[in-house]
Amino acid sequence: MKVLIVDDHGVVRDGLSRLLAVHFTAETLEASNVDTALEIYRTEQPTLVILDLNLEGPGGLEMLRRLLITQPDARVIMFSMHHEPIYAVRALRAGASGYVGKSAPVEELLAAIRTVSAGGQYVDRDLASRIALTHTSHDDPLQALSLREVEILRLLGQGKSLTAISEGLGIAYKTVANICTQMKAKLGVDRTADLIRLAVETLKP
């Protein structure tokens, strides 16, 4: 098994590499950003990818989107400090094979690796329960957001300006502004400041 670990924190990459060495016969590859990760995937064709959601610059959701355009069979486990159902739902809908919160027990990540490497899907148990509860409720407007809108909301919550978001995602400033306008309509808020407040309060780690 060959595993690509994509995380912008070296200590996380090292910890995951050590964990894999103990529990699997696996070759590990590492990347700290989207561009490097995509290049490594192209040349090495790993069995699966363990991908941090909250990468600097283009985030994990954006990398997932780019990867699946050229590698539709890629097996990706999102491994994130964000334990909100909206992130997991969007990632799974976008093509991720698994989602595990960084606060989940180690056994959950090991189970996800075994399941996804065998071609299955896996969501850690606590998050799966929260997703089920969320989907029985009809009062969560965040469920109406697209993958791109969730990514931009995440970056707003990090304090990024619209200019920084457009540069980081490689899209026009006007496109980002238009998406923010669409989100305001969906979420029932009037100002970008309200979007930022919502992102901080609702999508906090």
What type of residue is 149? E
83 CB-side CA count, 13 A: 14
What type of residue is 130? R
List all residues 6 or more positions away from 151 whose beta carbon is below 8 Å from its beta carbon: 59, 61, 62, 169
pLDDT confidence of residue 96: 93
pLDDT confidence of residue 133: 58
Mean pLDDT of the chain: 86
Question: For residues 166 and 85, which has the higher predicted lDDT (pLDDT)?
Answer: 166
pLDDT confidence of residue 14: 95
**Does residue 83 register a pLDDT over 50?**
yes
What type of residue is 141? P
The percentage of residues in the chain with a pLDDT greater than 90, rounded to a whole number, is: 53
152 CB-side CA count, 13 A: 28
CA 92, CA 79: separation in Å to the nearest integer?
12
Domain architecture of the chain: domains with CATH: 2-135 (3.40.50.2300), 141-202 (1.10.10.10)
Tokens encoding 177: 């502004």
pLDDT bucket at 200, cuts 50 / 70 / 90: low
Mean pLDDT calculated for residue range 30-37: 94
pLDDT confidence of residue 145: 81
pTM: 0.70
Q: Quick one: CA dihedral 169, 173, 175, 178, positive or negative?
A: positive
pLDDT confidence of residue 3: 97
pLDDT confidence of residue 45: 96
pLDDT confidence of residue 205: 46
Q: In what order do the strands lie in the sheet with 122-123?
A: 27-31, 2-6, 48-51, 76-80, 98-101, 122-123
pLDDT confidence of residue 139: 53
Mean pLDDT calculated for residue range 73-92: 85
Return left, alpha or beta for 188; rule: phi > 0 is left, psi -120 to 50 is alpha, else beta: left
Question: For residues 45 and 128, which has the higher predicted lDDT (pLDDT)?
Answer: 45
pLDDT tens-digit profile of 95-148? Answer: 999 999 998 999 999 999 999 999 999 998 887 876 665 554 445 566 778 888
